[in-house]
Structure 1
């Protein structure tokens, strides 16, 4: 005769364990002084995978208002993208920083 063991776990708590999503972080570019339109467009399309229309809108915000939101990612991805953008900006002579904030 097989022995069955009843577990004191509910379906709701089991599902919560299975679909618990990681925290998301928002990456934004802050333009401290000057950054070219071309640099913004290239970064937005290549690093953040924005289409042409979205890249234009975000680049406009960065160039005119000094800040543009690039997307939401898991922490490691957000930090990697931010570090790459800052390094590339420094290499090309632009002073900008990326901000990574928990959503």
Structure 2
């Protein structure tokens, strides 16, 4: 994100009291735009007692592009620890993924919960 735009400042030197002809020198200063890294958000799956493990694996493969082995590992982590990280994304991407997962879970009548938190 750009914090400061290219600003051009003109500064005219003040006339000296010594009767100068009125000419001043101008200085043009350009500031470089400062880029700020976007905030990152963790997308998390929460464990429940009803969503089938196979469905969780399917969600991880479909929405987070995990291969079968990675998806199984994350699913088992969620199952054993109550929560597991699916990935880290910018706000808009994380929000979209949470919505996609929640919509898919509802369409398939599963209570799976997906949330995001600032890293």
If the length of structure 2 is used for normalisation, what is the TM-score? 0.69
- Higher normalized helix content (fraction of residues): 1
Residue 77 of structure 2 corresponds to residue 55 of structure 1: no
Instruction: Give structure 2 stretches of 5+ with no counterpart.
Output: 1-25
Aligned-partner Cα distance in 2 for 1:66–1:80: 22
Once the two structures are TM-superposed, the CA of residue 51 in structure 1 deviates from its matched residue by: 2.2
**Which residues of 2 match residues 34-49 of structure 1 at below 5 A?**
34-49=50-65
User: Which digits, 9 at most, give the CA deviation of each residue in 1:40-97, with x for residues without a partner?
Assistant: 1111111011122211110111233321110000111101111111111111121121
My pick for the range that moved more, 58-67 or 70-79, is: 58-67
Relative contact order (C-alpha < 8 Å, sep 6+): which is higher?
A: 1
The answer to whether the 8 A contact 1:25-1:101 is kept is yes
**Which residues of 2 match residues 1-103 of structure 1 at below 5 A?**
5-7=27-29, 9=31, 14=32, 17-18=34-35, 20-103=36-119
If the length of structure 1 is used for normalisation, what is the TM-score? 0.78
Aligned residue-pair number: 95
Aligned-partner Cα distance in 1 for 2:98–2:82: 16
Instruction: Give structure 1 stretches of 5+ with no counterpart.
Output: none
Q: Which has the greater radius of gyration?
A: 2
CA RMSD of aligned residues (A): 2.1
